[in-house]
Amino acid sequence: MIKLLFITILVIFFTGCENKTARSDITQKYLNETITIITPNLGKQISGPILKEAKQFAQETGATIRVVTPSWADTIPKIKESIIDDKINYDIFVTMTSWSGFLFSNNTIEPIPQWAKDKLDWKDILPIYKKNILSWNGVDYAYPYDGDCVNLYYRKDIFSNEQYKEKFQREYGYELLPPKTWNQYKDIAKFFTGWDWDNDGKVEYGIAESRLKGYGTILQFFTQAAAYTKYPNDKAYYFDSDTMKPRINNPGFVKALEEYIELMQYAPHEIYKFSPRDVRVNFIGGEVAMCVDWANTGTMAQNAKESIVKNLVGYSQLPGLEKAYNSQTKKWDTLFNSPSSISGNWVLLVNKNSKHKQLAIDFAAHMSSKKITSDLVTRGDSGVNPSRYSHFENNFDLWDKHGFSKESAKKYLATLQQALNNTNVMTDLRIEDSEKYYNVVSLYIDKAIKKELTPKQALDKAAKEWDIITNSIGREKQSKLYKTSINE
C-alpha cells in the first residue's frame, strides 16, 4: 500500500505538470499538419473553389491548408522550381492537362491510393478522362477536378427566328441550323455579323472566340484545327510520334490557322484581346450569335448575373469538316471529320515528396469528390465541368438551383455527353516542357493573327522551334513520352 501511495502521489504530481495543450479532439485528424497547394490565379474559376474548400476542410480537420495562386505564367516555373529546391514545397499541384506530362514522367507524382479512389468514387469517372487525362502509362495519378470539353454555343432564339432563317436560306442556299462544319460556322458567323439581330439598338456579331495571346487562344486553335488534321485513326496530332517531326505546319494546320484568322472578321473588333472569359462575357451579354468554348459558357449563360441569354442558348457539337488532312499520307481525304476536344482539363496532383501525404491525398480526393464537383459543374463561375457519370444523371435540382431549366440542363448535358462519347478525340500535348511548345506556337500564331506573318510562315517557324526544343530535350525521350501520352 505504501508503494501505491507513492505511485499515486507521483501520478498526481506529474498529472499536475501535464501540458494540457494537446487536445484530444478526434475530429481534428490533421491538427498541426500543413500542406501547400499551388494553383494558377484564375480568379473565381478553378482556384476559387479550391480556396473556399481549403478553408472549410481546414476548419473540419484541424489542418492548415495554404493555397498559393501565382500568375498563369509563373505557375509552371514555380512548380519546376519546387521540384529542384528542397526549401520550396508544394503538396498539391493544380495543373492543366498539358502541364502534367513532365510531372508524371519525372516520377514526382504520388499515384492515387485505393482508399482515395474509394473516397472520390473512381468508378464514377468517365473512361475518356481516365484514359487520356488522369493516367500515365497505366497508373492513375490525377484527381479528376475539371472535365473539360469544348463545344459550340449558339443563340437558339435567333437561329429559330423565321425571318432570319428565310434570309439565311436565301443568301446561303441551306437552312439555318447549328453548323455541322466550320464552313457553315463561317457562313452563319458572317450572316449574323454587323447588324442588330436582337433589336437592342446595337450592332451584333456572328462569333466570339479567344484570340489573346496565351493558352486560351492556342488551345482553341488546336481544338478547331482538329477537324482539319486530327485524322480519325491516327492518335498522333501534334507530332509524328516516331520521329517527333512537328505536324503543326502541315497543310491541315495551315488551313486551320487561315480559317481561324479569317473568322476574326465576324467577331467584335476587340477579338484580338479576347481571352476565353471575354468570349463568355460577349456571348452571355448578347453580343454574338455563336461561340466556341469550354462547357463554362453553357453554365454562365444560365447562372451569371450578367447573362441576358438565359434559356436562349442552344448547344451543339464542335463543327467538323468534309475533308481531313492525313498527316501520314500527306493528302486531303474526303470524309466528315468531327473530332471532340477535351483540351484544358484541370486536375489535382499530389506531390510524391509531400511531408503530409495523407492530408494532401485526403484533400485532393475531397476536392475531386462527387459531392464537391457535382455542385461546381452546375456553376458557371467555378470553371469546373462534368467529368463523371453522375454529373450526367438526372439530378436537375442542382441545375435548377443554378438557373438551368430542366430542358436546358438536359440538352446541355446531352451535348457534352455526345462529345465525350466521340472516339476521335483531341487532347492536349503532355510531354516534357509542353508549355515551351505551347508558348512558341502561341507566339507565332499571335504574329499570324496580327498579320506579322502569314499562317504558313508562322507555323513553319513554330515547327522549327519545336524541333529545337525537342532536340534539346531529346527526340527519343520526347517520342516515348508523346506515345505514352496518347496511349500509343
User: Could you list the residues that contact other proteins (CB under 8 A)?
Assistant: 1-2, 5-6, 9, 12-13, 16-17, 19-21, 41, 64, 66-71, 73-74, 81, 87-89, 270, 273
Residue 222 CB-density burial (10 A; 0-12 exposed, 13-18 middle, 19+ buried): buried
Which residue, 74 or 258, is less far from other proteins as judged by CB? Answer: 74
Minimal CA–CA distance to 145: which of 331, 461, 376?
376
Minimal distance, residue 73 CB to other proteins, in Å: 7
Which residue, 86 or 162, is less far from other proteins as judged by CB? Answer: 86
Which residue, 67 or 288, is less far from other proteins as judged by CB? Answer: 67
Residue 248 carries which side chain, given as an amino acid letter?
I
Rounded to 10°, the helix 182-191/215-229 angle is 120
Minimal distance, residue 224 CB to other proteins, in Å: 23
User: Is the alpha carbon torsion for 310, 311, 317, 320 positive or negative?
Assistant: negative
CB 291 within 8 A of CB 207: yes
Minimal distance, residue 275 CB to other proteins, in Å: 12
C-alpha angle 206/211/215, rounded to 5°? Answer: 135
Counting Cα atoms < 13 Å in the Cβ hemisphere of 435 gives: 17
Minimal distance, residue 351 CB to other proteins, in Å: 14
Minimal distance, residue 36 CB to other proteins, in Å: 8
Minimal distance, residue 353 CB to other proteins, in Å: 13
Minimal distance, residue 66 CB to other proteins, in Å: 5
Which residue, 41 or 395, is less far from other proteins as judged by CB? Answer: 41
Other beta carbons less than 10 A from residue 181's beta carbon: 17
Which residue, 80 or 167, is less far from other proteins as judged by CB? Answer: 80
Which residue, 119 or 447, is less far from other proteins as judged by CB? Answer: 447
Which residue, 6 or 174, is less far from other proteins as judged by CB? Answer: 6
Which residue, 36 or 427, is less far from other proteins as judged by CB? Answer: 36
The Cα diameter of the chain in Å comes to: 110
Quote the cell numbers at residue 432.
Answer: 516534357
Minimal distance, residue 88 CB to other proteins, in Å: 5
